[in-house]
Structure 1
Amino acid sequence: MKHYIIGTAGHVDHGKSALIRALTGVETDRLPEEKERGISIDIGFARFPLPSGRRAAVIDVPGHEKFVRNMLAGITGIDLVILVVAADEGVMPQTREHLDILRLLEISKGLVAITKIDLVDEEMVELVEADVAEAVAGTFLEGAPVCRVSSVTGEGLDHLLRTVDALLEETEPKDTTAFARLPIDRAFVRPGFGTVVTGTLVGGVIRQGDRMELLPLGIEVRVRGLQVHGEPVEQAQAGQRVAVNLAGIERSDVRRGHVLCAPGALRPTRSFAGRLHLLESWPKELKHGERVHLHTGTSEVLARVLLLEGDALKPGGTAYVQLKLEEPVVVGRGDRYIIRSYSPVHTVGGGMVIEPHAQYRRSQAKAAIAELQAKESGGTGGVIAETLLRAGMTPLGLGELAKRTGVTVETVRTELPGLGADVRELEGGLWIHRRGFGQFCDAVRAELETFYGRYPLRSGLGKEELRRKLGLGGKEFAALLAAAEAAGELSVNRDRVALPGRAPALNGAQAKLAERLRAAIAGAGFSPLTVAELKQQVPGADTEEVIIYLIEQGEAVRVGDDLVIAAPVLEEAVRRTREHLKARGRLTVAEFRDLLGTSRKYALPLLEWMDEQRITRRAGEERVAGPNG
Structure 2
Amino acid sequence: MKHYIIGTAGHVDHGKSALIRALTGVETDRFPEERERGISIDIGFAPFPLPSGRRAAVIDVPGHEKFIRNMLAGITGIDAVILVVAADEGVMPQTREHLDILRLLEVKKGLIAITKIDLVDAEMVELVEADIRDAVAGTFLENAPCCPVSSVTGEGLQDLLRTVDALLEETEPKDTTAFARLPIDRAFVRPGFGTVVTGTLVGGIIREGDRLELLPLGLDVRVRGLQVHGEKVERAEAGQRVAVNLSGIERSDVRRGHVLCAPGVLRPTASFAARLHLLESWSRELKHGERVHLHTGTSEALARVLLLEGDALLPGESAYVQLKLEEPLVVGRGDRYIIRSYSPVHTMGGGVVIEPHAGYKRSQAAAAIAELKVKESGGTGGVIAETLLRSGMTPLPLNELARRTGVPVEALRAELPGLAGDLRELEGGLWIHRRGFGRFCEAVRAELEAFYAQHPLRSGLGKEELRRRLGLGGKEFAALVAAAEAAGELRVVRDRLALPGRTPALDAEQARLAEAVRAKVAEAGFSPLSVAELKQQVPGRDTEEVIIYLTEQGEAVRVGDDLIVAAAAMEEAVRRTREHLRQHGRVTVAEFRDLLGTSRKYALPLLEWLDEQRITRRAGDERLPGPNA
Give TM-score, length-normalised by structure 1.
0.64
> Which residue in 2 is equivalent to 1:413?
431
> Which residue in 1 is equivalent to 2:122?
122
What secondary structure, in the 3-state scheme, does the structure 1 residue paired with 2:382 have? helix
> Which residue in 1 is equivalent to 2:417?
400
Letter aligned with residue 424 of structure 2: V
> Which residue in 2 is equivalent to 1:303?
303
Q: What does 1:208-223 correspond to in 2, within 5 Å?
A: 208-223=208-223
Residue deviations 1:529-579 (CA, integer Å, cap 9, x gap): xxxxxxxxxxxxxxxxxxxxxxxxxxxxxxxxxxxxxxxxxxxxxxxxxxx
CA distance in 1, matches of 2:254, 2:112: 36
> Which residue in 2 is equivalent to 1:102?
102
> Which residue in 2 is equivalent to 1:70?
70
Distance 1:186 1:391, change over 3 A: farther
> Which residue in 1 is equivalent to 2:111?
111
8 Å contact 1:179–1:408 — kept in the other structure?
no
> Which residue in 2 is equivalent to 1:238?
238
Unpaired runs of 5+ residues, structure 1, are 417-629
Distance 1:283 1:383, change over 3 A: farther
Letter aligned with residue 307 of structure 2: L
> Which residue in 2 is equivalent to 1:144?
144
> Which residue in 2 is equivalent to 1:12?
12
CA distance in 1, matches of 2:5, 2:413: 36
> Which residue in 2 is equivalent to 1:227?
227
Q: What does 1:276-291 correspond to in 2, within 5 Å?
A: 276-291=276-291
> Which residue in 1 is equivalent to 2:186?
186
Letter aligned with residue 322 of structure 2: Q
8 Å contact 1:265–1:399 — kept in the other structure?
no
Percent identity over paired residues: 84
Q: What does 1:359-378 correspond to in 2, within 5 Å?
A: 359-378=359-378
- What is the aligned-residue RMSD (CA, Å)? 2.4
Q: What does 1:87-98 correspond to in 2, within 5 Å?
A: 87-98=87-98
Shift of 1:32: 1.1
Shift of 1:391: 13
Q: What does 1:386-535 correspond to in 2, within 5 Å?
A: 396=413, 400-403=417-420, 406-409=421-424, 413-414=431-432
CA distance in 2, matches of 1:395, 1:207: 32
Residue deviations 1:447-500 (CA, integer Å, cap 9, x gap): xxxxxxxxxxxxxxxxxxxxxxxxxxxxxxxxxxxxxxxxxxxxxxxxxxxxxx
8 Å contact 1:384–1:401 — kept in the other structure?
no
> Which residue in 2 is equivalent to 1:515?
none
Shift of 1:409: 1.9
What secondary structure, in the 3-state scheme, does the structure 1 residue paired with 2:66 have? helix
Letter aligned with residue 232 of structure 1: K
Letter aligned with residue 59 of structure 2: I
Residue deviations 1:23-75 (CA, integer Å, cap 9, x gap): 00000001111011110000000000000000000000000000000000000
What secondary structure, in the 3-state scheme, does the structure 2 residue paired with 1:20 have? helix
CA distance in 2, matches of 1:243, 1:88: 38
Shift of 1:76: 1.4
CA distance in 1, matches of 2:411, 2:169: 45
Letter aligned with residue 346 of structure 2: H
What secondary structure, in the 3-state scheme, does the structure 1 residue paired with 2:23 have? helix
Distance 1:372 1:384, change over 3 A: farther
Letter aligned with residue 29 of structure 1: D
Letter aligned with residue 13 of structure 1: D
> Which residue in 2 is equivalent to 1:331?
331
CA distance in 2, matches of 1:206, 1:397: 29
What secondary structure, in the 3-state scheme, does the structure 1 residue paired with 2:431 have? helix
CA distance in 1, matches of 2:313, 2:190: 48
Is residue 162 of structure 1 aligned with residue 177 of structure 2?
no
8 Å contact 2:185–2:198 — kept in the other structure?
yes
Q: What does 1:36-75 correspond to in 2, within 5 Å?
A: 36-75=36-75
CA distance in 1, matches of 2:197, 2:242: 8
Shift of 1:378: 2.5
CA distance in 2, matches of 1:140, 1:410: 38
8 Å contact 2:173–2:239 — kept in the other structure?
yes
- The structure number with the bigger radius of gyration is 1
Shift of 1:407: 2.3
CA distance in 2, matches of 1:59, 1:143: 23
CA distance in 1, matches of 2:76, 2:341: 20
> Which residue in 1 is equivalent to 2:452?
none
Shift of 1:399: 7.2
Letter aligned with residue 128 of structure 2: V
CA distance in 1, matches of 2:7, 2:165: 14
Distance 1:408 1:40, change over 3 A: farther
Distance 1:66 1:390, change over 3 A: farther
CA distance in 1, matches of 2:352, 2:140: 17
Shift of 1:415: 6.4
> Which residue in 2 is equivalent to 1:264?
264
Name the count of aligned residue pairs. 414
> Which residue in 2 is equivalent to 1:358?
358
CA distance in 2, matches of 1:219, 1:134: 49
CA distance in 1, matches of 2:319, 2:94: 26
CA distance in 1, matches of 2:425, 2:25: 41
Distance 1:383 1:261, change over 3 A: farther
Once the two structures are overlaid, the 10-residue window that deviates more, 391-400 or 167-176, is: 391-400
What secondary structure, in the 3-state scheme, does the structure 1 residue paired with 2:264 have? coil
Letter aligned with residue 116 of structure 1: K
Shift of 1:410: 6.4
Unpaired runs of 5+ residues, structure 2, are 387-401, 435-629
